[in-house]
Amino acid sequence: MSWDLVIKNGTIVDGTGAPRFHGDIAVKDGLIAEVGEVSGSAARTIDASDLVVAPGFVDPHTHYDAQICWDDLTTPSCWHGVTTVMLGNCGVGIAPCRPETREVAAWDLVNVEAIPFDVLKQGVTWDWETFPEYMQAAARRGSGLNLGFLCALTPFRHYVMGEESMERAATAEETASIRGLLHEAMEAGAFGFTTTNAGQHVGYHGRPLACRLASNDELAAYAGVLKELGRGAIEVALTNEVSRVDASERALLDLLLRESGRPVTWLALLNRDDDPDAVQNTLSEIGDLIERGSVPQCTCRPFIVQIDLSKPFIFANMECWNPVLNRPVDEQIAILRDSGFRAAFKEALKRPLIFSARWEVMTVLEAATPAMARYVGRNVRDIAAERGADPVDTFLDIAIEDGLGMQFNYELFNSDEDRIPELITDPRTMIGLSDGGAHVDSLCDAGYATYLLGTWVRDKRVMTLERAVQRITSEPAALFGITQRGRIAPGLAADFAIFDLATVGSDKTGEMRHDLPGGGRRLVVTSRGVEYTIVNGEVLFEHGRDTGVRAGRVLHSAQA
């Protein structure tokens, strides 16, 4: 027999949780043909001796909706062995979109996902209007990775309701129109829809993101599309207080589960220093909903963000910060100097929802002016003590003195790494939450898969290799109904991550690069130990080098 590709002598971890075994894999026409002992010739043979051969990793939570217009590799996810990404999360996206409202869609991404407007203006191709056309445009461009599309509810509401989508619930007639568009998108191959309940998700001109105003009747109608088709999933940014689910949020989960009959994955479970038992309490309190298909997402890394007060996404859930959004720097500085603003900020910090004001872990990462460089590497608490000032005032003052160019590092969640194992080993959670493509100059968790393998499997041994691979392959694939990927078996898609367990990994912090359209900057985390990333039987990355092959596909939910 003649094969397109044979992977020889690998340690195969098949994604099911079954014990690893030594063997070969034969690939023909983009599919796995044989597993075990393979004979015959091949157009290409890879010697995987001393390497682990796993299914390509499936990232369930990304925001590459815009980036796929200018980056056919979908970096940095592809560097980490990811072969399939799910786009369109948190209810924010860029399709469907009428030509006259493209700026609204762009500013929604700016405010919710912290992607600079100038980057979007230069990089988004806008060669579509409807959602099916958006998927078709992605297929025409080509991709290194497989792309799974979720329907972000905000642009669907805006497409039908216009400006009023940011002001009110839809009428029965409007709901029927939106439902029809969702049905059309699902028929074109979308994997479900996404929305948000989170107060920090504000959109165009600081108004509520349109999907946040959807009524329960609307959501029930949209969930009914999935029940009618018998496929797909729902993703929702659920909690206004991380790791705590209140009564209204519980009711929302119950509604989405009941009306769709499909899995509902939600954000987020992360360990909190101010409430160490929050995760376990929540898992107990909503255990019945988890049994019905409610799947909370978590990350296996400390959640470290960079904070830039000219783009203060981290404070968007505080009403006092809304006037600061999307303003010129001189206007922002005037607001931040105002005593009334400062009083309101200090008051809001008494009831922390996301930002917990632990000034001892708020450190100055970089300064824009030489005069402020003396503060780099120091935390705000110590700087405030040195200046004899309140930490809140110090935080704002040193940023202002640096022209809002100062960058801060903050350990937001999962800062106690000893607590992460109980989060990621719990079968009730799903590991993901990479946010790939979003918050481009403040955080990068797209390396979660290599961090899991290097830190928690090899170094700290809190999880077996087999279980870790299962958690980042077949589990997320199954949630979205992608049965042809996430496992190694004959007849399935030939997506592989081939890595050296002795060296695989990624760092907690990243490096800043200026490689976005127009020279925009972004934070990326590089990978170690991933020797090959193979997509549909073609080698995408080999020893860290791009081969130039683009064999990724736009996945179709009915055929996945």
pLDDT single digits (tens) 134-175: 999 999 999 999 999 999 999 999 999 999 999 999 999 999
Q: What is the DSSP letter of 203?
A: -
pLDDT, position 509: 79
Final residue in a domain of this structure, among 413, 439, 457: 413
Residue 443 lies in a domain: yes
Residue 9 lies in a domain: no
pLDDT, position 225: 98
Residue 27 lies in a domain: no
Final residue in a domain of this structure, among 361, 392, 413: 413
Q: Are residues 115 and 135 in the same domain?
A: yes
Rounded Cα distance, 362 and 51, in Å: 40
pLDDT at 474 over 90: yes
pLDDT, position 254: 98
321-to-15, 316, 317, 356 alpha-carbon distances in Å: 45, 6, 8, 15
Q: Are residues 279 and 322 in the same domain?
A: no
Q: Are residues 383 and 460 in the same domain?
A: no
Residue 20: count of CB within 10 angstroms of its CB: 17
pLDDT, position 57: 98
Residue 532 lies in a domain: no
How does pLDDT run across 162-210, given as a tens digit for each residue? 999 999 999 999 999 999 999 999 999 999 999 999 887 888 877 889 9
Task: Label residue 313 by pLDDT band (50, 70, 90).
Answer: confident
What residues form DSSP beta bridges with 304? 411
Q: Read off the CATH number of the domain in which 159 is found.
A: 3.20.20.140
HSE-up of 402 (CA within 13 Å, CB side)? 27
Q: Are residues 290 and 394 in the same domain?
A: no
Q: Mean pLDDT in the chain?
A: 94
Total domains, the chain? 2
Q: Are residues 279 and 223 in the same domain?
A: yes
Amino acid at 27: V
Q: Are residues 136 and 221 in the same domain?
A: yes
Cβ-defined contacts of 512-521 (< 8 Å, 24+): 512/441, 516/70, 516/116, 516/119, 516/123, 516/440, 517/70, 517/118, 517/119, 517/122, 517/123, 518/118, 518/119, 518/122, 518/123, 520/116, 520/118, 520/119, 520/440, 521/440, 521/441
Range of the domain at 345: 306-413
Q: Are residues 355 and 466 in the same domain?
A: no
Residue 71 lies in a domain: yes
Q: Whose structure tokens read 């078709």?
A: 136
pLDDT at 354 over 80: no
Residue 8 lies in a domain: no
Do the Cβ atoms of 405 and 368 come closer than 8 Å?
Answer: yes
Task: Label residue 353 by pLDDT band (50, 70, 90).
Answer: confident
What residues form DSSP beta bridges with 264? 234, 294
**Among 171, 148, 24, CA closest to 86:** 148
Q: Across residues 406-432, what is the average pLDDT?
A: 91
Q: Across residues 511-524, what is the average pLDDT?
A: 91
The answer to whether the predicted template modeling score (pTM) of the entire model surpasses 0.85 is yes
Q: Are residues 246 and 310 in the same domain?
A: no
Residue 329 lies in a domain: yes
Rounded Cα distance, 107 and 86, in Å: 22
pLDDT, position 119: 96
Final residue in a domain of this structure, among 363, 385, 413: 413
How does pLDDT run across 235-270, given as a tens digit for each residue? 999 998 889 999 999 999 999 999 999 999 999 999
Q: Are residues 364 and 496 in the same domain?
A: no
Q: Are residues 98 and 221 in the same domain?
A: yes
Q: Are residues 359 and 325 in the same domain?
A: yes
Q: Are residues 495 and 389 in the same domain?
A: no
Gap between the terminal Cα atoms of the chain: 28
Residue 242 lies in a domain: yes
Q: How far is CA 66 from the centre of its chain?
A: 13
pLDDT at 326 over 80: no
